[in-house]
Amino acid sequence: LMGPEIQGGGWRGIDVRDEARKQTYLSSIGHGLKALFIYYFNEGDNWQSDWAKKQITPLYEALLSDPRYANIDQKDLPDSFWNELQIQVDRQIVVGFWAKGIMTEDPEVAANLYFDAPLNGEAMPRDHYNLVKEIGEKLVGPYGEILGNAVEVTDPVSILMDTNYNVPSTTPYLDSIRMNADWSGGLLGYIFQTGVNPRFHHFGINPFVDLLLDKVILHQDNGETDPTIVDILGSQIRNGGMVINFLGDSLAFKLGFGQKRNVVNTANHPLLTAQNGDSFKTSYEGPLFRYKLDDRCKPILFSKSDVVGYICKSGKGHFVQIGTLIYGQFNSDIYSFMDDVPARR
């Protein structure tokens, strides 16, 4: 949410409407934010096209010398080649570089950074620079002292940032990179819609005792949950707290609430229905876990007749599993035009 210019890298993303930008900026300020960090504020040169390609090229050339791929034009290289190269890049350089894209992109196009920033590559204003300027003149300028002295009020709700978010996921359709980026931003926007002002808890950095103050803990699950947080969350539930786990269900199994399930891809954005009859579509392409519940848990979210969300009671508290992406659109260009927010909420 801090960077509504949601394009990334050296490629063009979607166009972002001024309404979406304004709603994001003002929502952030309204929740006690002291400053806006706009990433990026200006366009420029794209380091990735130069540095990353130099790192990947030796791996690319070594694999190209393999007899399986010798004398094959780059455009005809099979998927197995690119898959092998990607594995090597992830292990030896860094997770996150798209090896095939970097090795095949037009170098002239790739050299120019494009983040849809307020200033262009020559530091000249683009259209939405005026929106930032307007907020500065109408809000920050005259009321800056009041905003600066305001005290942020947080609710006893936290979004738990698991250390294993950074581990490549082994669960189908769960992309750790998208979870860290697009989906985390969407989750924050989703929680804002409920009127709750949550805080982020970075496990391993913030004192774990801070979690003991929370009544609700939200967690995105890439299928590789850090086992060291399980005891803490289990204790919170037994003592009356609620843990809401999204997407994967590794945490559910480690806490003893896992259910029989299968997972498919939600490329067609299936319609979801809650117990009260409210319906909405999933957002973005991602996983859809379908569960067959035992007597310990009750269904709360459905895709047709399939259960895709459930709640379990333990001690004084509850565990909730939502096995699909219900908040991705809160970090998208249609954020300010959504007509199904009450159902999602």
Residue 217 pairs in a beta bridge with 158, 243
Counting as low any pLDDT under 50, the low residues of the chain are 1-11
**Residue 320: count of CB within 10 angstroms of its CB:** 20
Query: How much is the pLDDT for 113?
Result: 67
Global model pTM greater than 0.85: no
Query: How much is the pLDDT for 30?
Result: 74
Query: How much is the pLDDT for 73?
Result: 92
134-143, long-range: CB within 8 Å, 24+ apart, which pairs?
Answer: 135/22, 135/25, 135/26, 135/29, 139/26, 139/29
Q: Is residue 163 within 8 Å of residue 203, measured between CB atoms?
A: yes
| Nearest-angstrom CA–CA distance, 94 and 92 | 6
Question: What's the pLDDT tens digit per position in 235-294?
Answer: 999 999 999 999 999 999 999 999 999 998 887 788 999 988 999 988 777 889 999 999
For β-strands 242-247 and 306-314, DSSP reports them as unpaired
